Amino acid sequence: MKKVCGVLCGLMICCNSVLGNVSLNNRELFDERASEGIEVHLKEDREYEILPLKEQILTYFEDGQKLLYNRYIADDERVTQGDIAKIVCEYINRQPIYLPEKDLCQNPFIGRLVIEGIWGNWSYDERQLITLNDWDYLFHQANQFREDPDYVKKALEASATNIKKTINQYRKDSNRNWSYESVSLGSITQSHMNLSLEGQAYQLYQFEGTNYVNLNTLEKIGFLKRENSNNLLQFIWQAPSFKEDELLNITSKDTYINNEEIYIGELKTYSLITGENTFIPVRALEVYFDLHLLEDQVILVPKVHVMSDMISCNENIIINESNQPLKLMYTDLYWDGEQIVENQSGLVEIQRNGRILKNTHLYALRKAHYLTTIIKYIETDYNVLIAEQKFGQDISNLLKKYHQAIDQKKLVDIKKTQPLFPESIIIGTMKYATNGFVKGQKVEIWAAEDGVSYKIKDAQHKIVNVPWNSISIPKDPAPAKDKPTKEQIEDFINSKDMSSGSAYLVWTDLYRQQTYIFEGKKNEWKLIRTLLSSTGKNITPTPRGIFELKGRVPYFGVNKGYRAKNAFHIFGDYLYHSIIFDVTGTRLLEGKGVLGRRASQGCIRFSEEDSLWFYNTMKTNTKVWIN
């Protein structure tokens, strides 16, 4: 077989693994099969390949099993890997499951055998033909799986070290029960429509354009409620009861998706909860009724053929409850976080008292959980058809709203745990060893001399010079867009116990590219102005720390071909000044669009207007905090 490398290849068990010698060698196999008169072919590379037909595969099973597995292989065709994977999954009593890597394996039966350590180091191509040599190997592995309770553990031990954690996570995910988080989706309201059964009206409620009925109303229209120990609630319709309805007070109540399992007849629907009330979509009643929509009413008309008279269905099984064989088609619905995923059964025959095992974990490894089942079609021997027995509806819009609410909740939680004013530290990576630093070491970048050297901090926070090309520098981060309130800014700066050599204090927030100007004194600073700024790029950063304003100059840079106006010296070559003009000071060499992002060689730039205000207002010896 063609060998492939994939993320799960470590699971594949070699013939001489800890599980023992799992297949006959080629010569033994050739001699054995030739003695039985089975056709074999000797390939040029001296490997023996046997080309089996359907009957040869089925000889491995008892008579009852032959009938069971016969349906998986088309007549008069060579057996494919997809055929044999179905048989082996049935033989070991395991449901198929899709592997996470969509491009690697498209067959869920092969996926299950990979997870269980049974599938060899083969291609995942379901169309590829299989040989008797391959089948010997698989059948031996399947028997080991059935007989040895430690098979899966041994298979994992024989896999590559780097894949064990991944496979364990896959198995954990495939068996995890789904539950909705308690996150509000908004408010449910009273609908303008009523539900009508034989002239008796019942109130409906509306959420996101869909009509819902209160669960208590079901009992008033003749549903019998059944509960069991599995937290499952089932409603079976008997006959109209005509009890009067009551109007609920649901003003400004948060609405959530309910985790309780609710069945109308034999099919699962979803529900919403608001306070003490539970609501299901009106369309769920289609199990028992035809729904006729008028302008202000949904009229219930009992069905002639009710699906639950013929089959029972839950998440795990479909049972033929009739006294005759049935043919049916159904669709299992899953949700992957973005859209509904449908898995259609095709036309399935189910004998009297027969059952079909369902597979609600089919897409579990692809992060899609089971929602519900729609019975599309039922046919009896008498050609009585029950078609499109749908219930519920496409709830993708509701689920999108749910995930948007989850994402918003996560953002709120992140903001609660993250500091409002985080430090903006640039972390570089050493390309090679120099000046006491080793290759690959993470270091804090403090300042730079463009094209010459970097000043970085060592373990003792001392400043060390290293060559310009010795460090890999990350890309500039986008500035934060959130805007803290005046009170939040003042509370934060006053928590720092900062004093100043003047009545002013300057704080440049690198995280937001803003410079805040305060007036007052220690622990009593008041924000008087916020200046949109442009600080140094990551490759030429603005140094972080506490400094003082020194002297000021009206402009500088003319000898270098530009003019920076209203400059106030901080330290070294670093200043506050305007955006850049030509040497005459009349034409901008960069627009105001540069403000609000990292763009300079280390100085801090303002608009011309803000730089003039800063130049005229600030005093020397004013404390400056850049962070």
Domain with CATH 2.40.440.10 in the chain: 486-626
Determine the pLDDT at residue 161.
60
Q: Burial of 238 by CB count in 10 Å (0-12 exposed, 13-18 middle, 19+ buried)?
A: exposed
Using the 8-state DSSP alphabet, how is residue 29 labeled?
H
Structure tokens at 502: 């003047």
425, HSE (Cβ side, Cα atoms, 13 Å): 9
**What average pLDDT does this structure show over 310-319?**
79
Q: What is the mean pLDDT of residues 292-320?
A: 82
Whole-angstrom distance, CA of residue 529 vs CA of residue 429: 37
Paired with 516 in beta bridges are 507, 530
User: What mean pLDDT comes out for the span 201-207?
Assistant: 92
With 0-12 CB in 10 A as exposed, 13-18 as middle and 19+ as buried, what is 278? middle
Asked whether the beta carbons of 203 and 217 are under 8 A apart, the reply is yes
The CATH number of domain 486-626, selected from 1.10.1040.10, 3.30.1180.10, 2.40.440.10, 3.40.50.11540 = 2.40.440.10
Phi, psi of 607 (to 5 degrees): -65, 165
Contact 580, 562 (CB under 8 A): yes
> Do residues 141 and 13 make contact, with C-beta atoms less than 8 angstroms apart?
yes
Range ranked top by mean pLDDT from 11-15, 171-175, 211-215, 333-337: 211-215
pLDDT in tens, 374-405: 777 888 876 666 655 554 556 778 888 888 88
Question: What's the distance, Cα to Cα, between the start and end of the chain in Å?
Answer: 61
In 3D, which of 494, 610, 481 has the Cα closest to residue 507? Answer: 494
CA dist 418 and 308 (Å) reads 53
* Listed ranges 33-37, 111-115, 126-130, 429-433; the one with the highest mean pLDDT: 429-433
Q: What share of the chain is helix, strand, coil (3-state, %, to 5)?
A: 25, 30, 45
In this prediction, residues 284-295 reach a mean pLDDT of: 88
Element (H, E) at 161: helix 161-174
What Å distances lie between residue 267 and 290, 355, 492, CA to CA?
16, 15, 57
Helices then strands (H, E): number in the chain? 12, 39
Q: Residue 59 above 70 pLDDT?
A: yes
What is d(CA 542, CA 506) in angstroms, rounded to the nearest whole number? 15
Residue 33, pLDDT above cutoff 50: no
Q: Quick one: pLDDT band at residue 163, thresholds 50, 70, 90? A: low
Residue 79 CA, distance from chain mean position: 37
DSSP 247-266: ----TT-B-EE--SEEEETT
Beta-bridged to residue 292, according to DSSP, are 299
Would you state the pLDDT for residue 229? 60
- CA torsion sign for 9, 12, 14, 20 is positive
Strands 297-302 and 189-197: parallel
pLDDT tens across 426-451, in order? 999 999 999 999 999 999 999 999 99
- Domain limits, CATH 2.30.30.40, in the chain: 426-472
The average pLDDT across 81-92 equals 89
3-state secondary structure of 123: coil
Strands 210-214 vs 317-320: parallel, antiparallel or unpaired: unpaired
Structure tokens at 254: 């948060």
Long-range Cβ contact pairs of 164-172 (< 8 A, separation 24 or more):
164/10, 166/7, 166/8, 167/8, 167/10, 167/11, 167/115, 170/99, 170/100, 170/115, 170/365, 171/115
328 contact partners, CB below 8 Å, separation of at least 6: 311, 318, 345, 347, 348, 350, 375, 376, 377, 378, 379
pLDDT higher than threshold 90 for residue 61: no
- Maximum CA pair distance of the chain? 105
70 or 26, which is more confident: 70
Burial of 295 (0-12, 13-18, 19+ CB in 10 A): exposed
> Taking a C-beta distance cutoff of 8 angstroms, is the pair 431, 439 a contact?
yes
Percent of the chain with pLDDT over 90: 38
Burial pattern 417-443, b for ≥16 Cβ within 10 A else e, equals: eeeebeebebebebeeeeeebeeeeeb
d(CA 488, CA 283): 50
Looking at residue 175, what is its pLDDT?
Answer: 63
How sure is the predictor about 77, in pLDDT bands with cuts at 50, 70 and 90? low
pLDDT of 184 over the 80 cut = yes
Tokens 């959980």, located at residue: 369
Nearest in space to 4 (alpha carbons), one of 103, 112, 122, 98: 122
Distance of CA 180 to the CA centre of its chain: 14
More confident residue, 375 or 467: 467
What's the CA gap between 46 and 48, in Å, rounded?
6
- Indicate if the pLDDT at residue 369 is higher than 50: yes
Q: Is the pLDDT score of 73 beyond 50?
A: yes
Higher-pLDDT residue of 355 and 11 is 355
Cβ pair 122, 140 in contact under 8 A: no
pLDDT, tens digit, 9 for 90 and up, residues 142-154: 999 999 888 878 8
Please give the mean pLDDT across all residues of the chain: 82
CA distances from 110 to 86, 104, 615 (A): 8, 11, 73
For 426-472, which CATH superfamily applies? SH3 Domains (2.30.30.40)
Q: What is the pLDDT of residue 530?
A: 97
Averaged pLDDT, 369-378: 81
Taking a C-beta distance cutoff of 8 angstroms, is the pair 405, 185 a contact? yes
Q: Identify the three-state secondary structure at position 324.
A: coil
Q: For the chain, what is the radius of gyration of the CA atoms?
A: 36
Amino acid at 193: M
- What are the DSSP calls for 498-567, one per residue? ---SSSEEEEEETTTTEEEEEES-TT--EEEEEEE-B-B-TTSPPPPEEEE---EEEEE-GGGT-EEEEE
pLDDT above 80: residue 199: yes
